[in-house]
Amino acid sequence: MFEIKVPATSANMGPGLDTLGVAFKLYNRFIVEEIESGLEIFGCNKEFANNNNLVYDSMLKTFKKLQKDPKGVRLTFKTEIPVSGGLGSSATCILAGVTAANRLCGDILTKQEVLNYACEIEGHPDNITPAMIGGMTVSIMNEGANHYNKIPINGSIKFCALIPKLQLSTKSSRAVLPETIPFKDAVYNVGMVSMLIVSLVNGDYEGVKLACKDKLHQPYRMGLIRNYSQISSFVKESEALGVFLSGAGPTIMVMLKKDDSNTEGKLKEFLKGLSGSWETLNLEIDEDGLNIENI
């Protein structure tokens, strides 16, 4: 029996669609135990406690890849990350499933191979990579292999997640994205991604604030989230370092200086005046990523 702990993540980070992501000290934990036969799932909603569970489905795909016949499995979930909230809940399930099956098969896959296969299942690496590696990462897929680098953020920075009581599936959020984009929009985003990474490394916080803009996904997704425009405008006029849609949404992520003790309070007051219900959650960067230990 062993426990897999996987951190929450925020992907895209403004202009970095499907490439940039950061891990946080907010976790989903999965206790895995091999039993004689069958499937037992505890600690999650009844609708997910079956063969269609994303952790178990990822395990089955991994068993098939490794050409192994699984015995029974007992899964116990201890989750902190909102489902379909834009904080990488699905990525934790996929990564935990691949990792669990690999461990039950004797750790046949290397860490890099686990990362590659989890990205193959997920379809993009921006959540999977920081969840596995920790920290802020830039990652790309090339011929089935994940290539990544950590981005060493210069100076003190903290994140504040603005979470509405709304679930938004990645599939629904991707459906609004266009099939093609103008050339000038592609060039715009190349510049913004480059500026964001360099500004974070160099501690140029004015550059960070500027470079959270993009033209690839946020303009198309903002209409799915009530009050997004008002919140974004308010944050941009505050002392915050930047604001961006977390993953596919609906969570909105705000970057702040660690010594900024005023902006979060102003945000909370502003959110109270909006329709719907919003929660603010302070998040610190997790530098370690996935952890697995016997229990």
**Average pLDDT for 205-234:** 91
Task: Reply yes or no on whether the pLDDT at 166 is more than 80.
Answer: no
Query: What is the domain partition of the chain in residue ranges?
Result: 2-151+286-294, 157-283
What is the per-residue pLDDT across 87-124, written as a single tens digit (0 to 9) for each? 999 999 999 999 999 999 999 999 999 999 999 999 99
Residues in binding site: 82-92
How confident is the model at residue 196, as a pLDDT? 96
Q: Which carries the bigger pLDDT value, residue 190 or residue 261?
A: 190
Task: Reply yes or no on whether the pLDDT at 225 is more than 90.
Answer: no
DSSP 159-212: EEEEEES----HHHHHHTS-S---HHHHHHHHHHHHHHHHHHHHT-HHHHHHHT
How confident is the model at residue 255, as a pLDDT? 94
Residues in binding site for ATP: 82-92
How confident is the model at residue 270, as a pLDDT? 92
Q: What is the mean pLDDT of the chain?
A: 93
Task: Reply yes or no on whether the pLDDT at 240 is more than 80.
Answer: yes
What is the per-residue pLDDT across 122-146, written as a single tens digit (0 to 9) for each? 999 999 999 999 999 999 999 989 9
**Residue at token pair 């934990």:** 29
How confident is the model at residue 17, as a pLDDT? 95
**Domain 157-283 CATH (choose: 3.90.79.10, 3.30.70.890, 3.40.50.720, 3.30.1360.180):** 3.30.70.890
* Residue 26 CA to its chain's centroid (Å): 11
What is the per-residue pLDDT across 17-58, written as a single tens digit (0 to 9) for each? 999 999 999 999 999 999 999 999 999 888 888 888 999 999
How confident is the model at residue 116, as a pLDDT? 97
CATH architecture of the domain covering 2-151+286-294 = 2-Layer Sandwich (3.30)
Q: Which residues of 223-241 are buried (b: 16+ CB within 10 A; e: fewer)?
A: ebbebbeebbebbeebebb
How confident is the model at residue 180, as a pLDDT? 95
d(CA 61, CA 58): 5
DSSP 15-43: T-TTTEEEEEEEEEEEEEEEESSSEEEES
